[in-house]
A = this chain, B = another copy of it.
């Protein structure tokens, strides 16, 4: 089976979503939002980067459809729109564990 244009677009759409998760700061944000909604300034305080940087990371996640936002007063509150994204963590942990085991085996 060759990858035609339609199939290619399907994988591109999927990759866009996964790519949005592929950054340590954005991963942290998702993890934090799994505990409840957070405003941008709270996240900035935790992350310690410029607020414009945090805002752009949030916009990447929002663009992908992973988070949603709601403005209340001066603050914008972000929330996790698709909790199933948390399932990623479990498998990622498995991969890391397997890598450690493999590294150990390679030494001995």
Contacts and interface: CB of A to CB of B under 8 A. Distances in A.
Interface residues of A, number: 47
State the number of copies, please: 2
Nearest to A23: B15
B23 A19 contact: yes
A70 interface: no
B24 A21 contact: no
Contacts of A46: 1-3
Interface of A: 1-3, 7-8, 11-15, 17-28, 31, 45-48, 64-66, 81-82, 84-85, 87-96, 98-99, 102
Given A14-B27, A24-B15, A91-B87, A65 B3 contact: no
Given A3-B28, A24-B15, A82 B95 contact: yes
Contacts of A85: 91, 95
Nearest to A31: B11
Contact of A82 (B20, B45, B87, B94): B94
Contacts of A19: 19, 22-23
